Amino acid sequence: MPCYRCGARQTDPVRGASPWKRGVSADAQVLICPECQRSHDLDLDTCSSCASTALICRLGEVECRSCGHVRSAGEGQGGGQGECLPKRPSVPADLAAEVEAALSRVLGRS
Ligand SMILES: [Zn+2]
Ligand SMILES: [Zn+2]
C-alpha cells in the first residue's frame, strides 16, 4: 500500500520496525510515509476520546490504539454501515434542484 498522501511506495526497512505509520483517514485505513509524517496538515481521523491519530480500521469499526475507544466507521454518513471505504461524493443538493427546474421547463411550468 503506497503513502495515501504522496503515493510513495513503502520500501523494506533495513532493520527494525518500519518508519511508516498507519492511520485512518475518512474511515479508510491508510499508510503515511516518514516524509509526510513531518507534515502538520495530515488529514487523519482522530480518536474522539483522546484525539490520538493511532487508529486502526477494520470490519466497519475504527479502534483507537492509544485508549481502546471504538467507534463505527461511517459515522455521520447516515447509517453507520461503513466498510472502511473512502467516502463517496454524494449528489449535491443543488443538482437535485437543477434537475427539478429542468423538468419544470420541459413540462411547461413556470
Ligand atoms: Zn508520503
Ligand atoms: Zn483514543
Listed residue (29, 25, 27, 23) closest to 74, CA to CA: 27
Please tell me the pTM assigned to this model.
Answer: 0.60
Q: With CA atoms as reference, report the closest residue to 47 among 76, 21, 69.
A: 69
Q: Residue 65, Cβ neighbours under 10 Å: how many? A: 13
What separation in Å is there between the alpha carbon of 98 and the centre of ligand 2? 43
Give the closest ligand to the alpha carbon of residue 34: 1
In this predicted model, what pLDDT tens digit does every residue of 78-90 receive, in sequence order? 444 445 555 555 6
Q: What ligand has the least distance to the C-alpha of 36?
A: 1
Q: For residue range 61-81, what is the model confidence (pLDDT) as tens digits? A: 999 999 999 999 876 444 444
Q: Name the residues around ion ligand 2, CB cutoff 5 A.
A: 47, 49-50, 52, 64, 66-67, 69
